[in-house]
Structure 1
Amino acid sequence: MNRAIDYYFSAPSPWTYLGHDRLLALLAAHRREVRVLPVDFNRVFAASGGLPLPKRAPQRQAYRLLELRRFAEHLGMALNPEPKYFPADAAPSSLLITLVAHADGMDAAMRLSGAVFAACWREERDIASDGTLAELLDETDLPTERLAQSRGAETQARYDAHTQAAIDAGVFGAPTYIVEGEMFWGQDRLDFLQRRLSV
C-alpha cells in the first residue's frame, strides 16, 4: 500500500502557505513520505464547479480576507492577505516545483514550495517572474538551471498529469492531502490528518 501523502496545491494559494510548515512537521513526526503535486486549479475548478477568486461573489471574497487574517493570527504567521503580486500566474512556479520534484527529489520540492509560498504571502515578491524564481532557487540551494529546464514539454506533461490525477481523485480545492485514498481538504483539516496518521 502507498503510504506517501499526496499533496495537491496551487502555488499562489494562501491556505497552502498557512499549512505548509505544519504538514512538514507531520511528515517528520509520522515518518511519512510526500508526493509534491502542484496542479492547475483553473482546470480543477472547471471540472468541479468551483470559481476562481475574481469571479466569486463579493461576500465570499470579503469573508476570505477575514478568515485569512484570523488564521494568520491564530497560527502566529506573517501574512499579507492582499499582497502586491496577486493574483499571480501559477504556471511558472508550479512547473518549476514539478521539475525540482522530478530532478532533485521531494524534500527539495518541499523546500522550494515553502519558499514560493512565503515569497508571495509574506515577502511581497512576484512568484510569476523569472527573476524571483531564480532567486528562490539560489536561496534554497538548488541549481538555477532548473528554471530553464522547467519550460520543457516533459515537465508540462507531468504538471498536466498531476492536474488530471487531482480531478480523478475528486480534488476541488487547495491544499488537499490524500493518504491511502482518504481526502483531507484545507489546512484547517491538518488536525484530522494527524489523527489519521496516528492510527
Structure 2
Amino acid sequence: MHQLDVYLDFISPYAYLGFHALPEALEGQSVSVNYKPVLFAGMLKHWGQLGPAEVPPKKVWTFRHVLWLGQQAGRSMQAPAAHPFNPLALLRIAVAKGLAQGGDPNRETCRAIFEHVWETGLPADDAQRTADLAQRLHVTDWNTDAVKQRLRENTEAAIAAGVFGVPSVVWQGRVFWGVDGLPMLRAALEGDPRLSDAAWAAAESIPAAVERPR
C-alpha cells in the first residue's frame, strides 16, 4: 500500500480543487492518505515568496482560473467574501479534530472546512461562522498548545520534505505539487519509467546560469 502525505491549507483554492480531484487521480490504487494541514504563509516566508493573492494581477488571474476550473469540474465553487484571510482558526480546528480522533483530520473534516471557505461566498474567517463550524465538527477547543504545536510540526515537516506550495502530495520523498501534478503522481505510483529514480533526480543537477539578487 502506498503511503501519501497530502499537505493543504484551506486558504488555497487550488488545494480545494486538488482535494476534490484526488480520489479520481488515485482510483484503483492501493493507498493510505494522511491529510496534513499546514500554514501556507509559513512556507512562503521560509522560501522567500509572495502568495498568489499578494500579487494584484496574479490574484485576479488566480480567481478567474480557479472558478473556471471549478465549473469545468462541476463544482459549486465560490470565492469567499474576502481573500486572502487569516486561516489559522480553520487549520487549528482541523488539527484539533484529528488529534481527538488519534491522528490527522480525516477526509470528511477537511471536506467540511473546504466547503465552509469555497462553496458559500461568505467571509471565511468570520468568528461566528467559525464557531458554528467547530460546533458542527464537535470541536470545543482548537487553541490548545498541543494543537498549535502539531500545526507547526506539520508545516516544518512539509518544508523539510521540500514542499513549497499547496496542495502537495509527498510519496517516498517525492513532492507532487498542484492539481496538475496529480496525473504525474498517478504515473509514479504505476511505475512510469519516465519517472525512474535517475529521471527524477536529473532535475536536481540542472545548474543556474544566472541568479537574481534578493
TM-score interval, normalised by the smaller of the two chains: 0.7 to 0.9
- Cα offset, 1:158, TM superposition: 0.5
The alpha-carbon distance between structure 1 residues 195 and 112, as it changes in their structure 2 partners (threshold 3 A), is: same
User: What TM-score do the two structures reach when normalised by structure 2?
Assistant: 0.78
User: What TM-score do the two structures reach when normalised by structure 1?
Assistant: 0.84
Q: Work out which of the residue numbers 136, 140, 160 in structure 2 matches 1:147.
A: 140
Q: Work out which of the residue numbers 97, 101, 115 in structure 2 matches 1:100.
A: 97
The alpha-carbon distance between structure 1 residues 174 and 162, as it changes in their structure 2 partners (threshold 3 A), is: same
The residue number in structure 2 matching 1:178 is 170
- Cα offset, 1:137, TM superposition: 4.6
Instruction: Give the gaps of 5 or more residues in structure 1.
Output: none
SS at match of 2:187: helix
The residue number in structure 1 matching 2:198 is none
The alpha-carbon distance between structure 1 residues 170 and 117, as it changes in their structure 2 partners (threshold 3 A), is: same
Distance 1:125 1:110 in 2: 22
Q: Is the 8 A contact 2:93 2:134 kept in 1?
A: no
The alpha-carbon distance between structure 1 residues 51 and 108, as it changes in their structure 2 partners (threshold 3 A), is: closer
Q: Is the 8 A contact 2:14 2:178 kept in 1?
A: yes
The reply on whether 1:187 has 2:202 as its aligned counterpart is no
Identity level (%) = 25
The residue number in structure 2 matching 1:33 is 32
- Cα offset, 1:172, TM superposition: 1.1
- Cα offset, 1:88, TM superposition: 2.2
Q: Which has the larger radius of gyration?
A: 2
**Which structure: greater helix fraction?**
1
- Cα offset, 1:108, TM superposition: 5.2
SS at match of 1:68: helix
SS at match of 1:8: strand
The residue number in structure 1 matching 2:199 is none
The residue number in structure 1 matching 2:111 is 114
The alpha-carbon distance between structure 1 residues 54 and 74, as it changes in their structure 2 partners (threshold 3 A), is: closer
Q: Which amino acid counterpart does residue 180 of structure 1 have in structure 2?
A: Q
SS at match of 1:33: strand
- Cα offset, 1:92, TM superposition: 0.4
Give me the CA root mean square deviation.
Answer: 2.3
Q: Which moved more, 1:106-115 or 1:3-12?
A: 106-115
Distance 2:143 2:2 in 1: 31
Q: Which amino acid counterpart does residue 70 of structure 1 have in structure 2?
A: W
Q: Work out which of the residue numbers 146, 154, 160 in structure 1 matches 2:152.
A: 160
The alignment covers a number of residue pairs equal to: 191
The alpha-carbon distance between structure 1 residues 102 and 170, as it changes in their structure 2 partners (threshold 3 A), is: same
Distance 1:60 1:130 in 2: 28
Q: Is the 8 A contact 2:95 2:104 kept in 1?
A: no
The alpha-carbon distance between structure 1 residues 136 and 25, as it changes in their structure 2 partners (threshold 3 A), is: farther
Distance 1:154 1:174 in 2: 23
Higher relative contact order (CA 8 A, sep 6+): 1
